[in-house]
Structure 1
Amino acid sequence: MKRLLLLEPVMALCTFSYFLNAPLMQQYVYRRLWAQMTNTTYPISDTSRCTTSNSSSSYEGVQKQASLFSLYTDVLCTIPSLLVILLLVTYSDRAGRKITIIIPVIGMLINTLAYLTVSYFELNIYLLIGSSILSALCGGLGTFLGGCFAYIADLCDTRCKKTLRMAGVDMMIGVLAGGASISTGYFLKTAGFNWPFLTSTLMLCLSLIYAVFVLEETIKPPSDVVIMDLAPRRSAIKQMVCGVYQMLAGASRSCKIALALLIVIFISFSFAYIGGVSMITLYELNKPLCWTEILIGYGSALTTTVFLTSFVGVSLFTCCGVPQLFIVLFGILSLVMSMVMTAFAETTLFMFVAIGSMILSKMPFPVLRAMMSEIISKSEQGE
């Protein structure tokens, strides 16, 4: 069977699955905590749950526990995920890019199956922290995207083509993420949690099959790379560490400084973006908004439109010759403005305006990736 250098199907399936799950997971934890702490069924309304007779202390207590659950999950997953990203994506410079695509998909599949199992059998929700850690040890979404963009970088030979191709992939992610987010609310209201989790599981299985059997490798690994059952000359971990060292040792001093600064900016902005966006759903569930699953779906969809608007922004700014660092700055300011407005949002309309102000907040990601890929050599595009 002839393999294809077409990455988009894998990214499309994983993206739809991920953004179908993202709002569901937080709502599932919130509802389970609500049932445990209040000994009542979760209030469901077609307009707003604030009209129910539940006291403010109930909302505050549940949100506190849900926030702690989210904090534990984020902290315990972020540290191993960052380490795996550095090692695994660098290792892909020798072993091939597919390893950074396949392993994270397996991790996401494990996590989704865990949510499906806990939801179906009503097991202890704190088991989900363990599944999230396992997913993080497989690299998580960060490694998956890093591998995908490294794969794309291998196929692009010019700076402009690379920037636009990466931004174009971000746009595709935005379209699918928006569709998945909108469908989440209706799916949840109609079928509950089990069917969406099952749908996500099936999509990840299809993505895994495509990545393993259809996707072509862009880098042919040398004979001394440890892959599957081949007898190793060196351990895989040692090769990963050596890959990181070689990437830094082979560059000039100015390149090392520039790369280090870009990595710091990328990681810092990622923390701010992921941390801020992940708390939006919890804020929407609590007073004074008390959004329903339908409104949360539309809010999540509006959040994902930044993929589209950021693609347009990157394209226009690039064509107009705006320096890349200014594009990054505009994106950071867009996120700052959105987070400040969200902190003071007390009505549905103002909350939608706050989310909409994130219009350019995704621009730093493709631009920073392109800038980092320009600094290091072609053979080290994984980092």
Structure 2
Amino acid sequence: MALPNLCQSAFAVLRQVEPIIVLEQLGSTLFDTALQMVVKDRCANATYPDKSREDSQQKAMTDFFMTYNLIIRFVPMIPALLLARLSDRGRRKAPIVVPLGGYLLSRLILLLVVIFRLPVEVMFGAAVLFGLSGGFCAYWPGVMTLASLSSTTTDRSKVMMKVELLYGAAGVVGSLVSGHLFLAYSSSLGHGIVLLIVSLLLHLLCLVFSIFLLQVKQVSDKDPDESCHLLSHTSDTAPVTEAPAGINKVNVVLLFAAAILYNFAVGGAVEILGVFVMKEPLSWSATQVGYGNAAGCTIFLTSFLGVILFRRCASDITLILIGMLSFTSGIYFMSFVTTTTMFYLARSLNLFALIPMPTIRSLLSQQVPASACGTILTVLQLALKFSGLAYIPAFTKIYQTTLDWFPGFVFTLSSIVTVLGMIPISIVGCRSPQRRQYKRTQGD
């Protein structure tokens, strides 16, 4: 009797979105390490006038990743919007299934590049195919939409952080083993084959789960007229605030501005960080790259614990500010890193750096009806991707310019932009108590 119940419970778990998140992130972390090491290998012999061999390699790598990431951020914009419209019209699985097909194709192309020694520029075509499928720009809002619809408004921040927790835990595991798998040989084909085959199989399994097992469900609040509070720590005795007749456009604009500035800072720093650790004095190997990526994914776990720890005594606005402060301190310290030990010390300051984005998404999702939830989250994701069209070339060119005298200058710049991003969030925090007090007075 226990065995059928166990099988039934296991099947119920497989029908949720969480297994797909884990499988996709496992496959993606393996792919990221493989791509990073393949590009490093192909750029080893790059030469530029008036530059040393290492600086030439750094320039070639940053130029490749600049073009590759620009394609990934630009191409998905229209497909992601179309998939979001399909989602809001009832086809909730579309923004998940279609991008996962793009993930599978891009991983397959990198495998072919390694096996047949094709030019690494072939990956630009893979990026286009990935973008046409909607890419992460469609996939992640699709996941967040399912998470939002399956939770009440009061628990939504916690549920979204649980999604981030699973994403981060899978990233830690995948990153830790990725370097070792990259060094494993497959016949006479060289390094990286085993790693990419495993990544490909994980994405194939992920796609099968999303097509045949994923279940879409929606949980309604007990009181449909219950307010979607901006601050999450209101007491049980507080009066119930009625939902606004329309969207609070000022708060939405401020939240968008904060999200874009923070994404600009984080994205620009991470864009350079993967290349930064491969130059002297760090000069990381494939195994160290995997460990470094694992350290980055660990921040998902510590950010989740931070939400659990602080959400009972702090508002969502305060949580966002804590996360931004955590990132700006760690990334400023990263400017002066010269040893691997210093790198991990800087990373340790970023413990809560991933709290802001899911919390901002939670606040935005509470400002619109369920029928428009997918669209607003996708519009935010598109805005973040569009900002990448600015920060990717900006941070890349600044890094190449300052490579000789201060390679860590881009991290200092990132910390400054983060401080600017704290301003609109602080304004939202100042406006919200006044708005809530006004409504309570009006109700009296």
Which residue identity does 2:283 align to in structure 1? C
Range with bigger deviation, 170-179 or 328-337: 328-337
The correspondence for 2:177, drawn from 183, 186, 200, is 183
Residue equivalent to 1:34? 44
Distance between the aligned counterparts of 2:327 and 2:74, measured in 1?
A: 23
Unaligned runs of 5+ in 2: 1-7, 186-190, 219-243, 377-444
Distance between the aligned counterparts of 1:82 and 1:339, measured in 2?
A: 29
- Any residues of structure 2 matched to 1:305-316 within 5 Å, and which? 305-316=298-309
- The structure whose Rg is larger is 2
List per-residue Cα deviations over 1:94-145 (Å, max 9, x = no partner): 1422001011111111111111111110101111012112212222223211
Distance between the aligned counterparts of 2:315 and 2:82, measured in 1?
A: 31
Distance between the aligned counterparts of 2:153 and 2:210, measured in 1?
A: 26
Distance between the aligned counterparts of 1:121 and 1:341, measured in 2?
A: 42
Residue equivalent to 2:73? 78
Distance between the aligned counterparts of 2:183 and 2:142, measured in 1?
A: 35
Which residue identity does 1:365 align to in structure 2? M
Distance verdict in 2 for CA 1:311–1:326, change over 3 Å: same
User: Does the 8 Å contact 1:167/1:314 carry over to 2?
Assistant: yes
Residue equivalent to 1:226? none
Range with bigger deviation, 261-270 or 306-315: 261-270
Where 1:381 maps in the other structure, the secondary structure is helix
Residue equivalent to 2:370? 378
User: Does the 8 Å contact 2:322/2:352 carry over to 1?
Assistant: yes
1:300, CA displacement in angstroms? 1.0
1:343, CA displacement in angstroms? 2.0
Which residue identity does 1:359 align to in structure 2? L
Residue equivalent to 2:234? none
Q: Indicate whether 1:261 and 2:254 are aligned.
A: yes
Range with bigger deviation, 87-96 or 184-193: 87-96
Q: CA RMSD in A?
A: 2.3
User: Does the 8 Å contact 1:97/1:218 carry over to 2?
Assistant: no
The correspondence for 2:296, drawn from 287, 303, 321, is 303
Which residue identity does 1:373 align to in structure 2? S
Runs (4+) of structure 1 exceeding 3 A deviation are 1-5, 35-38, 82-87, 251-254
Distance between the aligned counterparts of 2:354 and 2:307, measured in 1?
A: 9
Residue equivalent to 1:13? 23
Q: Indicate whether 1:168 and 2:173 are aligned.
A: no
The correspondence for 1:22, drawn from 27, 32, 55, is 32
List per-residue Cα deviations over 1:10-30 (Å, max 9, x = no partner): 111001111121122122111
Residue equivalent to 2:213? 214
Where 2:202 maps in the other structure, the secondary structure is helix
Distance between the aligned counterparts of 2:207 and 2:264, measured in 1?
A: 28
Distance verdict in 2 for CA 1:339–1:84, change over 3 Å: farther
1:254, CA displacement in angstroms? 5.1
Residue equivalent to 1:274? 267
**TM-score for the superposition, normalised by structure 1:** 0.82
The correspondence for 1:101, drawn from 96, 100, 118, is 96
Matched length: 334
Distance verdict in 2 for CA 1:30–1:11, change over 3 Å: same
Distance between the aligned counterparts of 1:122 and 1:218, measured in 2?
A: 46
Distance between the aligned counterparts of 2:73 and 2:160, measured in 1?
A: 24
Distance verdict in 2 for CA 1:270–1:74, change over 3 Å: same
User: Does the 8 Å contact 1:331/1:362 carry over to 2?
Assistant: yes
Q: Indicate whether 1:346 and 2:356 are aligned.
A: no
Q: Indicate whether 1:201 and 2:209 are aligned.
A: no
Distance verdict in 2 for CA 1:146–1:301, change over 3 Å: same
Report 1 or 2 for greater relative contact order, CA contacts < 8 Å, sequence distance ≥ 6: 1
List per-residue Cα deviations over 1:66-103 (Å, max 9, x = no partner): 00111111222212334443442243111422001011
Residue equivalent to 1:57? 52
Where 2:44 maps in the other structure, the secondary structure is helix
Distance between the aligned counterparts of 1:80 and 1:332, measured in 2?
A: 29
Distance between the aligned counterparts of 1:339 and 1:82, measured in 2?
A: 29
- Any residues of structure 2 matched to 1:80-159 within 5 Å, and which? 80-159=75-154
**TM-score for the superposition, normalised by structure 2:** 0.71
Distance between the aligned counterparts of 1:114 and 1:264, measured in 2?
A: 36
User: Does the 8 Å contact 1:5/1:216 carry over to 2?
Assistant: yes
Range with bigger deviation, 120-129 or 271-280: 271-280
- Aligned-residue sequence identity (percent) comes to 26
Distance between the aligned counterparts of 1:111 and 1:95, measured in 2?
A: 28
Which residue identity does 2:106 align to in structure 1? N
